[in-house]
Structure 1
Amino acid sequence: MLDKLPEDIFYTLYSYLPIEDAARAACVSHGFLRSWRRYPRLLFNNKTLALEDTQYKEDKIASHFVNQINHVIENHSRFGIKVLILQLYPCRYIHASYIDKWLQIAVKHGIDELALEMSILEKRAEYNFPSFLLSNEKGGATLESLRLTSCAFHPTTTLGCNRSLTSLYLSFVHITGEELGQFVSNCTALVRLLLYNCNDIICFKVPTMLHHLNYFHVTQCKMLQVIEIRAPNLSRFDYGNGRIQISLGSEVKHIRIIGPNTLCYAHAELPSFMPSVQRLIVESTCEVCAMFIPFRYLDISVVDVQQLYYGLDYFCLFSFLEGSPALETFMLRVGTGNLLRRDSVLRDLEKDQLHLRQMPDCLHHNLKNVTIIGFTSAKSLIELTSHIVRNASALACMTLDTARGCGRRTANVDRCQRMSEKGLLEAQKALEAVKRCIEGIVPSSINLKALEPCGQCGC
């Protein structure tokens, strides 16, 4: 019945099928088999090539990939390919000539998305991506998304302007700062730029204005020393590279900083080059400092790496609140390895020696929502919580979650992260600490929620 549909409608319906379903349909229907030669989205990986983990030995994996991809691409009409994704992670020794052939067949005028993702294993020979395919005479005129992993990419000035490219992602890619800066300057529609572990970049400067750039992510580029771009509409900047010279020429409002000692970096650098930030996410380890930035949302992830768990004084985090008078939402994510706290506040309670530190004249008039995920019975964390309750006059909701990875309460995971027996015991101690130290000072106007691990967290 479907075979009797008008050809243009038939091809349109077929184009929406995932590649696995399209392949199965081609096996049972002459019409679908005919359409397979014009299928627009080609995705090749372990799943689509039906490669089970134990099906092939290592020396046969590349051969299987080559044979299957050759069969599809060589029998394709070579017209109408919109998406080509080559996820060649299992192939350490695949020959460059095969990849060159596939790219040259598929990357033509009309392609929208191109991804080449290769193994990062050191034994694999480096593949040099043929940058001439991105010229306007080839696929550069229509390409919107380019994603490269573990290869060399050396674009030349002869490529011209890539007016359609909106997303560029480079991971473990060998490219110099000069090459990247020149290439990006010709991507006049670029919206997203992501760089990860590109260690040949020392100085990244873009000579032209990037009017559409909205999201810029750069992490683990170990040699990077200078970033200079002008992006007036940049709204989010993710950064994790240590202290370098940064000039973005814009009023960034959302910043995420990743890595060790990043709290003090935020204190030292953010006020000077990003005075308009409103939302800050910091992922750090064992260090605190004071700062003054007018942001409204603060998300801090801290990992207490000391084996005896005396490394981090959580109470010192009050300095972030003190230095952020416009702050409305504060989220603290605590990672301590699901072990018992040696600095538990319950020890002082048992000895009737409880004394919680307080900071006088430190009111937080705009703070409304506070969430602490991975809440423990650490005395300094109880002190911080008590300080917030006593000084946040507008506080409406406080959530103390003793299970850091509970899938029932975490939107970005679909199952719970298993907690150890000591972790579950520490969660119970944390709940007891809330009952004995926090509940009695919480006004009725504040919705206090102390959450325990669910039934799946300890399975």
Structure 2
Amino acid sequence: MPDVSADGSIDSAAKRKGSLCQQVANSEGNKKTRYSRLDLPEEIWCHIHSLMAFKDAARATCVSRAFHRSWQCHPNLIFCIGILGSNFINKFDRIVKKHSGIGIKSVNFEYDSSYNTRRSTSISHHFDSWLHIAITPWIEKLSLRLSHYSYNVEYNLPCTILSDGRASSMRHLYLGSCSFHPTINLDLRSLMKLHLFNVHITGDELGCLLFSCYALEWLELEHCDEIVCMKMKTLSLQYYCNAVYYARVESIPNVPNLETLTICSYHEIPKDSMEDDSIFGDSSNMRQMQEYRHDNLQSVVITCFCSAKSLIELTCCILDCTTSLEYLTLDTTRGVYSCSTGKHSQCFPMDKAMIPKANRAMLAIETYIERKVPSTVKLNVVKPCPRCHISES
């Protein structure tokens, strides 16, 4: 039997003797060929098919009866506009409806309406049926990525997609540029990594989503602007990224296994609401939560750090409640890229209005935080660049 590599390619010897798919078609047509020995058990075909790259696997399905059968239990489904082209809906329908749903391990679905503007307003009606086929009790990874710029695609992921044990084996969930409003407790007992990007979800709904995530280790939130405040149950997080401004003191106490915390606040710095909460306006009655311990926390990065009282409280809480902290980075810039690395000629731009805010942030660090930093912790304060930021302002 010719060798099939992990990316789905067939070795040169097999190519000289004829394609594998042609051999299968001949053997199934009861034609006597020198490759009749390829009449293999179906589980072998399924295994060979699973090793192919997705595009090659789909092509093999079209020309081989054996692969057509094995496609019904192909474990990895990858659908993106770049692979399927502009006639996305028809091709997607044909591919998904030929799959039995049995044995699916991974689903990666990417859509960008800029490739198919005529269909973009109606495609959301097809999502539910596709996901109902793709999401089964065997699935371990789901990635639903709708283009950040596809504002005319409004898809609300139904809770039923992930209920009734359908997602009980899911370990990784990525949702991008959609709405998700869970009102029931979902069975996500195996979920270890959750990443939400530009998802319309409230803090209470996120709490409902996390309620059954007993195994969660990685939580990453980006541009989930409807979350005002988060209160989470006890989790075993090891990585908590992009908690933004709503990651107040009450967000962290219940994650004792947390090892890495990254807080970004790109959109909040220019807002006057955070300046109204400045530590310099009222430094009294600062909240303390020393009854919670974070003895596994080793690295903390806060980007777009400002003088907001809530951020000062959060930083002090981290310093007071950790014993294993090694690195604390307080970045008063946007933290995207810097000329100091040598990879860029200029730093990422900062609004002129952000310069005085960054200066107040540095003063707050000197006044309230530096004295709390133990000698075992390396404090890194990132200031506006004197060449790229200060000179421009």
Please give the per-residue CA displacement for 1:96-151, whole angstroms capped at 9, x wherever unaligned.
220011011111211111122113347415211011121134x1221222111122
Tell whether 2:315 aligns with 1:270. yes
- Whole-Å Cα distance in 2 between the matches of residues 223 and 327 of structure 1? 22
Residue 126 of structure 1 is aligned with which of 154, 163, 177? 154
TM-score, normalisation: structure 2: 0.65
- Whole-Å Cα distance in 2 between the matches of residues 284 and 233 of structure 1? 27
Consecutive unaligned residues of structure 2, counting only runs of 5 or more, are 3-37, 269-273, 278-286, 335-346
Please give the per-residue CA displacement for 1:147-202, whole angstroms capped at 9, x wherever unaligned.
11122211123x45421111111111121211211221211111111111112212
1:77 is paired with a residue of what secondary structure? coil
1:271 is paired with a residue of what secondary structure? helix
Match of 1:151 in 2: 178
Match of 1:448 in 2: none
Q: How does 1:92-103 map to 2 (within 5 A)?
A: 92-103=120-131
- Whole-Å Cα distance in 2 between the matches of residues 335 and 6 of structure 1? 65
Give the conservation status (yes or no) of the 8 Å contact 2:145–2:174.
yes
- Whole-Å Cα distance in 1 between the matches of residues 129 and 263 of structure 2? 37
Higher relative contact order (CA 8 A, sep 6+): 2
Residue 303 of structure 2 is aligned with which of 249, 253, 258? 258
Residue 229 of structure 2 is aligned with which of 164, 187, 203? 203
- Whole-Å Cα distance in 1 between the matches of residues 300 and 379 of structure 2? 15
1:203 is paired with a residue of what secondary structure? coil
Match of 2:48 in 1: 13
Question: RMSD of the alignment, in Å?
Answer: 4.1
- Whole-Å Cα distance in 2 between the matches of residues 262 and 25 of structure 1? 59
1:205 is paired with a residue of what secondary structure? coil
> Larger deviation: 116-125 or 165-174?
116-125
Larger helix share, 1 or 2: 2
- Shift of residue 221 of structure 1? 6.1
Match of 1:34 in 2: 69
Give the conservation status (yes or no) of the 8 Å contact 2:46–2:71.
no
Change in 2 beyond 3 A, CA 1:246/1:48: farther
Change in 2 beyond 3 A, CA 1:304/1:152: closer
1:216 is paired with a residue of what secondary structure? strand
1:285 is paired with a residue of what secondary structure? coil
Please give the per-residue CA displacement for 1:43-64, whole angstroms capped at 9, x wherever unaligned.
1113322x3xxxxxxxxx4xx2
Tell whether 2:141 aligns with 1:113. yes
Amino acid at match of 2:180: F
- Whole-Å Cα distance in 1 between the matches of residues 77 and 170 of structure 2? 15
- Shift of residue 264 of structure 1? 10
- Whole-Å Cα distance in 2 between the matches of residues 122 and 4 of structure 1? 47
1:26 is paired with a residue of what secondary structure? helix
- Shift of residue 6 of structure 1? 3.6
Q: How does 1:220-299 map to 2 (within 5 A)?
A: 220=244, 227=251, 229-241=253-265, 250-251=294-295, 252-259=297-304, 261=306, 269-275=314-320, 276=322, 277-285=325-333
Tell whether 2:204 aligns with 1:178. yes
- Whole-Å Cα distance in 2 between the matches of residues 5 and 281 of structure 1? 58
Residue 195 of structure 2 is aligned with which of 169, 178, 182? 169
- Whole-Å Cα distance in 2 between the matches of residues 255 and 40 of structure 1? 37
TM-score, normalisation: structure 1: 0.56
Give the conservation status (yes or no) of the 8 Å contact 1:198–1:221.
no
- Whole-Å Cα distance in 1 between the matches of residues 82 and 386 of structure 2? 36
2:231 is paired with a residue of what secondary structure? strand
Amino acid at match of 1:259: C
Change in 2 beyond 3 A, CA 1:305/1:154: closer
Match of 1:66 in 2: 89
Please give the per-residue CA displacement for 1:294-338, whole angstroms capped at 9, x wherever unaligned.
xxxxxxxx868599xx9999xx99979996633579797986788
Q: Matched residue pairs, number?
A: 308
Change in 2 beyond 3 A, CA 1:234/1:116: same
Amino acid at match of 1:130: P
User: % of aligned pairs identical?
Assistant: 28
Change in 2 beyond 3 A, CA 1:264/1:66: same
Tell whether 2:217 aligns with 1:191. yes
Change in 2 beyond 3 A, CA 1:303/1:174: closer
1:194 is paired with a residue of what secondary structure? strand
